[in-house]
Amino acid sequence: MILTTLICSGGLLAFSFSSFMPIVRFSWLMASLLGVALVGDLVLLPALLAGPLGKWFTPRTT
C-alpha cells in the first residue's frame, strides 16, 4: 500500500510543474488525498478495530 501510494502520488505530482493552474492544484489535492487515505488505512482503521468499536466488525457465530 505504501509503494502504491508513493507511485501514484509521484505520478500525479509530475503535473505540479504544469503552467495550467487547475492542473497544479488538482495534482497537489490528489497527492495529499492519497497520503491521508494511506494514514487512515495504516493508522486509523487498526485503531478503530482494536478499540471498543471493533466488536461491531466481528463475524457472527450461529
Check residue 13 and give its pLDDT. Answer: 93
Considering the entire predicted model, what is its pTM?
0.78
b or e along 27-56 (b: 16 or more beta carbons within 10 Å of the residue's beta carbon)? beebbeebeeebeeeeeeeeeeeeeeeeee
Region 4-26: mean pLDDT is: 95
Q: Is the pLDDT of residue 18 over 90?
A: yes
- The pLDDT value given to residue 38: 95
Is 62 within 8 Å of 44 (Cβ atoms)? no
The phi and psi torsions of 2 (rounded to 5 degrees) equal -65, -45
Side chain identity, residue 8: C
